[in-house]
Structure 1
Amino acid sequence: MEKIEQVLASGNTHATVNRNPNLQRGEFGVYDLKLSAPGVESLEFIATEPHPTAEKLFAGAWSACYTTVFGIAASLKKVTLPSDYSVDIQINIGQTGAAWFLGAQFTIRVPGLETEVVEAIARLAHQICPYSKSVHGNIAIGMNIVTV
């Protein structure tokens, strides 16, 4: 699997479980996009552009799935997640030589848990998530864990 040498475009998302459906944060030509997933209250992408790029749409779909599965993986490991955990995914499209590639960078924020615990949950979530499984071995995926 080759890594991108030159990033040409990126799409970013920030997904969190919305515990207050009346809270709106989008402004200045952006909106809050609420998605649903089986067994989850509500997933929300905060301040989404009105005309997202393909990279952002892919990041958004992957975020919705992965954020849901991250909660499932935590419950399988008998770990209680804080209510403010979130997943940011950046999808890059770029080139290495003449070849074109996708890459992904995850930032998982789980305040108050040990880094090793979050890493174990994240690995399990990638094994469960259909989006993660579909790209496994096809694109480079980086992981950044934030626990503060």
Structure 2
Amino acid sequence: MTKIEKVLFTGKTHTTVNRDPNAQRGDHGVVDIRTSAPDCENREFIAAEPHPTAEQLFAGAWSACYITALGIAASLKKVTLPPDASVDIQVDVGQTGPGWFLGAQFTVRVPGVAQDVAEAIAHSAHQICPYSKAVHGNIEVALNVVTA
């Protein structure tokens, strides 16, 4: 796995499970994309640019899948995720020497959950999420878990 030396393009997402149709939406000039999962809960890819880049679309699809896996991992550990749990993913395309590579940075927010429990759930979600499994060992993935 190669670490990116120079980032050329970045796609960012913020994904939540939307249980409130009155939740704050993206700012003017951006698009909210609703995705779905087999459990039929809505996942929101909030505030995408009107013409998203491939990196942003990949980050959005990955984050919708990952937040579903996060819920599954939490339920397997008998933990209820807070309603404001969210996942931010940044996917970078960059170079190291002449080679082009992908990299990803995750920020998982689970306010009120003990740090060690939240980290265990976040790591377990990567073992469940098909996108995470597909890129495992192929790209560098950084994980930051925020519980405050």
The one-letter amino acid paired with 1:107 is T
Distance 1:21 1:78 in 2: 27
TM value normalised by structure 1: 0.96
CA distance in structure 2 between the partners assigned to 1:95 and 1:15 by the alignment: 27
Q: Residue in 2 aligned with 1:83?
A: 83
1-structure distance, mates of 2:24, 2:92: 28
The total of aligned residue pairs comes to 148
- Counting aligned pairs with the same residue, the percent is 70
The residue that corresponds to 2:96 in the other structure is 96
Cα deviations across residues 79-129 of structure 1 (Å, max 9, x unaligned)?
Answer: 111110000000000000111100000000000111111111111111111
Q: Letter of the aligned partner of 2:130 in structure 1?
A: P
Deviation, structure 1 residue 19: 1.1
Kindly report which structure 2 residues correspond to 1:14-33, keeping only aligned pairs within 5 A, or say none: 14-23=14-23, 25-33=25-33
Q: For residue 129 of structure 1, what is the amino acid of its counterpart? A: C
Q: Which residue is equivalent to 2:71? A: 71
Separation (CA, whole Å) in 2 of partners of 1:80 and 1:23: 20
Whether 1:146 and 2:137 are equivalent positions in the alignment is: no
Change (3 A) 1:82 1:23: closer
Partner of 1:39: 39
List alignment gaps of at least 5 residues for structure 2: none
Stretches (4+) displaced over 3 A: none
TM-score normalised by length of structure 2 = 0.96
1:17-51 deviations in Å (ceiling 9; x for gaps): 00112445133211211111110421011111110
Instruction: Answer whether contact 2:122 2:145 (CA < 8 A) is retained.
Output: no
- Give yes or no for contact 1:90–1:105 (8 Å, CA) kept in 2: yes
Change (3 A) 1:23 1:123: closer
